[in-house]
Structure formats: structure tokens, C-alpha cells
Amino acid sequence: MGASSRPVRAAGPARPRPTTPAGALAQAHRIAEAVDQAWHTASASDRIEIPLSVVAALAVRTPDNADERAWVATQLTDTDDDGLLGFLRATWQLFAHVRPDLFPRVALLAAPWFTDPAPDRDLLRAVRRVVDATLRAGLHELLDAARYDIDLFGPLLSVLRTRGARAARGQYYTPPDVADLLARFDGGMPQAGERVFEPTAGTGGLLRAAAQAIRDAGGDPRTIRWVALDLDELALATLAVNVIIWDLGPQVLIGHGDVLADDWQDRALRERAETVAVAGRVQQATRALALLRRLDRTDSDLP
């Protein structure tokens, strides 16, 4: 989901770039702290889905190419409020278009930019602070150097939530090095076409580690059928974004519900099928509209 247009290398301060897994983890924590501080300094709102949505949009629109990354960073830093809002809306529309199967889960992150036609200027000021803090703390550099090694959203969700609320939810995510060890010692390596199920997935740290173990063993995580479940909708929304960051492939089912109840899987399959069907109809309608416009132009060209 990279941005396109002619890149121009941006001048500006060098941003941190990790060189070791420990450095990458430390940088993910620094980004989380920087975002938390930017958000809470500029806004009294407890709508933490907003900073999560901003970081998620920046992450999925991080280009592979260094010149393009520099160009995107400059554009985002220089744009006005309308430009920022346009970037966020376009990003979530693109997400819905490319991965309608995951959209039921990320809808929580997309909604803030569509429910209100003209969001509050104070809110957009806080959003700008989050964008600047995220880029300054080196999100682009971290993703370029270590996208498969870190879970951006585990630390971010933890820090954005109050300590008390986090403890009440039992949300202390497994550190990546421990998750990596578990993935390597926990039974046999999943093979192409097999199902990997994480019943208390959170932001997906154990899935990330499993995908890395599969890659290290010469396999391809995109061939696995990933199934994840959790009670926490916001964690699941970021897991759906992590699916893109970690390149887990097209066979992903993310359910919201209680592992002790038995209806979550049917519900998740139904939601996914409905969203994919709606996306298909929207795409058909868009194509039909484009055709009509072309015909209309051709008609008006006739003598």
C-alpha cells in the first residue's frame, strides 16, 4: 500500500534506525511513548483509537523505497489539516478496497475519519502532533529495518491505555524475544495449508513470531491459514493492520469474541463474507460508473 507520485529526497534531521532486534524493540517502545505524549499533550480525549488509527495509516502507507519514504514524510509534515484528513480517509478507503476481508476488524480505526464530515480543528491539531512525533521517532526507518521483528501496536496500545485498565484486562503482551523462543520450541513447524489458531491473540505478537519461525525454516507465512480471536476489539483492529505489516497473506480470519463461547467463528465468517460481498458490489458499481462516464464523453464528442 505504498504512496505513489514522483519522489523528491527530503532534507531534514536523520531519524533513528535500529541495527539489532533489541534496538528495534527499544525503538518501538520509543515510538509508543512519543505518540502517547504527543496525543495526551494535545488532546484531553480518551479516544485512543484516533492515535492508533494515525500510526496504523502511517505504517501501511510506508513505501519500500527510501526516496519515496522521504517524500511521503515531507508531504505529511507540510500538508494542511485538509491534506492530513484526505490522507487518512484515502488510506482507510484503500484498506477496504485491498483487504475487505479484514475490514470488519479495522472499521474501528477507519470510522473516526468518516463519521464526522468536518472533524474538530483541535482534534486535527492533535493528529498532526501524532504524525510528527511518529515520523520523528523513526517509524519509517523501523519498518524498513525490522518490520517482521516487531509488533508496533503491542507497546502502543499498552502505553495509551491507563495502567489500571490494562491490568484489569490482563493485557501484558508477550515480549518478541520470548514469543520467538515459544514459536521455535512449541511443537512442529506449521506447513503450507495448515491452520494456526491463536485464541487470545491481542495485537498478534505470537502470530508474528510464528510467521518469522516459518520464514527462517524456509517456508512462506502467506500459505498458512491464520485464525485469531480476542475479546478486545481495539487490539484486534491493530492485529488486522499487523497482518499487512507482517505480510501474513490472504488467508486470515480474525474473530471478536470469547474463546469459551462457541459462536465466534460463525459470526466472524459471516461478517467477512458480507463485507467482501459489499466491497465486490462497490467495485462493480465504480466500474459501471467509469464506463458510463466514458460513454457520456464519447457521446458529447459526436458531431
Ligand X SMILES: C[S@@+](CC[C@H](N)C(=O)[O-])C[C@H]1O[C@@H](n2cnc3c(N)ncnc32)[C@H](O)[C@@H]1O
Candidates 97, 89, 90; CA nearest to 283 is 97
Nearer to ligand X, 114 or 172 (CB): 172
Q: Applying CB under 6 A, which part among 10-18, 40-48, 133-141, 257-265 lies near ligand X?
A: 257-265
Does residue 75 bind ligand X (CB under 6 A)?
A: no
Torsion of CA 81, 44, 170, 159, to 10 degrees: 60
Q: Does 110 help bind ligand X (rule: CB under 6 A)?
A: no
Please report whether residue 183 would count as binding ligand X according to CB under 6 A.
Answer: no
Quote the DSSP letter at residue 186.
S
- Are 252 and 224 spatial neighbours (Cβ–Cβ below 8 Å)? no
Pick from 96, 126, 235, 268: which binds ligand X (CB under 6 A)?
A: 235
How big is the site for ligand X, counted in residues (CB under 6 A)?
A: 19
Q: Is 200 in the site for ligand X (CB under 6 A)?
A: yes
Q: Is 255 in the site for ligand X (CB under 6 A)?
A: no
Among 9, 47, 125, 169, binds ligand X (CB under 6 A): 169
State yes or no: residue 265 binds ligand X (CB under 6 A): no
Write the CA distances from 220 to 66, 82, 108, 210, 223, integer angstroms: 26, 40, 30, 11, 6
Q: How far apart are CA 288 and CA 290, in angstroms?
A: 5
Interacting span for ligand X (CB under 6 A) from 65-73, 185-193, 198-206, 269-277? 198-206
Amino acid at the residue 209: A
Query: Is residue 269 within 8 Å of residue 253, measured between CB atoms?
Result: yes
From 37-45, 74-82, 126-134, 196-204, span contacting ligand X (CB under 6 A)? 196-204
Closer by beta carbon to ligand X, 135 or else 150: 150
What is the Cα gyration radius of the chain?
A: 20
What residues line the site for ligand X (CB under 6 A)?
169-174, 200-202, 205-206, 229-232, 235, 258-260
